[in-house]
Amino acid sequence: MSQQMKSILVAIAMIVSTATLRAQPQIGDFGFGLMLGEPTGVTLKGALSGNNAWDATVGTSWLGNLTLQAGYLWNANVFNSNKAGLYFGLGGVLGIGRGNGIYIKDGKESDNEDATGIGLRGVMGFNTIPFRPPVEFFIELDPIVVLAPSADFRFMASVGARYYL
């Protein structure tokens, strides 16, 4: 594991451990919406017990490959607010298609249309619910450790909105 990756993981652990883990913006049990960026697609988020949640996205990358991602999230109310918060998480990502899915060799697309990439996904996000009905706006940065077809490290970033039931 590279020194850069170790530093990122230590920073995430420190932020999560020092933040007050309690309810952040009040939302429903299940939300759905759209996100733009890497990937662009449909996003889902569901509440779990306590301050935890899960998220999933089905979308496409800028290179046109299908991207599936899912994660387990911890909410952190670092702003002591019921309108804004941070969240952190861990999960996985699967990319299928041009450019080996989530892996792009030397910044170039692959000629293999059927390539598949798999990796571990970290999640760092900011969300806000400024008004009713319960619509969440978010911005997210996802460091990705690509495991296959070969080891690599990259970032995905997105912005989006979810409506909660």
Can you name the residues that pair with 49 across neighbouring β-strands? none
pLDDT digits (tens, 9 = 90+) for 44-97: 999 888 789 999 999 987 766 788 999 999 988 788 877 889 999 999 998 887
Q: Distance (Å, rounded) from C-alpha 147 to C-alpha 154?
A: 11
27 or 82: which leads in pLDDT: 82
Can you give the pLDDT at residue 133? 72
CB 124 within 8 A of CB 8: no
Q: Among 115, 121, 64, which residue's Cα sits nearest to residue 93?
A: 121
pTM: 0.76
With DSSP H G I counted as helix, E B as strand and the rest as coil, what are the percentages for the chain, rounded to 5? 10, 55, 35
Can you give the pLDDT at residue 57? 96
Tell me the domains of the chain and their CATH numbers.
Answer: 3-164 (2.40.160.20)
pLDDT > 90? residue 109: no
Can you give the pLDDT at residue 151? 83
Can you give the pLDDT at residue 101? 53
Q: Would you call 75 helix, strand, or coil by DSSP? A: strand
Quick one: pLDDT band at residue 22, thresholds 50, 70, 90?
very low
**Least reliable range by pLDDT among 44-58, 86-100, 104-118, 129-143:** 104-118
What is the chain's length? 165
Number of H helices, E strands in the chain: 1, 8
Q: Distance (Å, rounded) from C-alpha 104 to C-alpha 107?
A: 6
pLDDT > 70? residue 35: yes
Can you name the residues that pair with 68 across neighbouring β-strands? 58, 94
Q: Would you call 30 helix, strand, or coil by DSSP? A: strand
CB 28 within 8 A of CB 44: no
Q: Would you call 26 helix, strand, or coil by DSSP? A: coil
- Ranges 16-30, 107-121, 127-141, most confident: 127-141
pLDDT > 50? residue 23: no
Quick one: pLDDT band at residue 5, thresholds 50, 70, 90?
low
pLDDT > 80? residue 24: no
